[in-house]
Structure 1
Amino acid sequence: MQAVKIILDIIVVLASILLTMLILMHKGKGGGISDMFGGGIGASASTSGVAEKNLNRLTVIVGLVWVAVIIALGLLTKFGLI
C-alpha cells in the first residue's frame, strides 16, 4: 500500500502544478488583480472562444482529478491503509 500512497502523492503534486498553470493562463475579466499584473493589455492578446472553452474544460478536469486524489488519500489515511 505504500506504493499506492507514493503514486497518489506524485499525482497530487503534478495536478497541483498543472492546475496552477492552467488557472494563470485564463484570460482576465478586467477590473481585478489581473489588471494590476498586466492582464488588461488589450484585445491583441485575447484568445478565441474555442480555445477558452477548451482551457475551461481542461481546468475543470484537472481540478476534479486533484479533488478525487485528495479524497482518496484522506480515506486511505482514515482507514489506516497507508
Structure 2
Amino acid sequence: MALALEIILLISCVIMTLFVLLHRGKGGGLSSLFGGGVQSNLSGSTVVEKNLDRVTIFTGIIWIACIVGLNLIQAYGN
C-alpha cells in the first residue's frame, strides 16, 4: 500500500509541476520579465485556463491525499 502511494505521489508531483508551469503569468512576475507579458494576451482561451485550473487543483488534492496517507501509514504501521 505504501509503495502504491509513493508511486502515485511521484507521478502527481511531476504532473502538477507541468500543469503549474503551463499556467499563464498574472502580473509582473518572472513570466513578464522574459517577455511573457506580451504574449499572454494572445495565447489561450478562458475555457482552457479554467480546465487547467481544475485539473491542477484535482492533482493537488491527490498529492495532498497521498502525503496524508503515507504519514498515517508511517504513524500507525502497516
When normalised by structure 1's length, the TM-score is 0.86
Report Cα offsets for 1:8-63 as digits up to 9, x if no partner: 1100000000000000000111311222244223222x210100000000000000
Percent identity over paired residues = 42
SS in 2 for 1:47: coil
Note if 1:10 corresponds to 2:7.
Answer: yes
> Structure 1's 8 and 52: CA in aligned 2 closer, same or farther, altered over 3 A?
same
Q: What amino acid sits opposite 1:75 in the alignment?
A: L
Moved over 3 A (4+): none
Structure 1 unmatched ranges of 5 or more? none
Residues 30 and 39 in structure 1, CA contact (< 8 A), matched pair in contact too: no
SS in 2 for 1:41: helix
Instruction: Indicate the residue corresponding to 1:24 in structure 2.
Output: 21
**30-39 or 53-62, which deviates more:** 30-39
How much is the aligned-residue C-alpha RMSD, in angstroms?
1.2
Report the Cα distance in structure 1 between the residues aligned to 2:38 and 2:74, rounded to whole angstroms: 46
Matched positions, count: 77
Note if 1:72 corresponds to 2:69.
Answer: yes
Structure 2 unmatched ranges of 5 or more? none
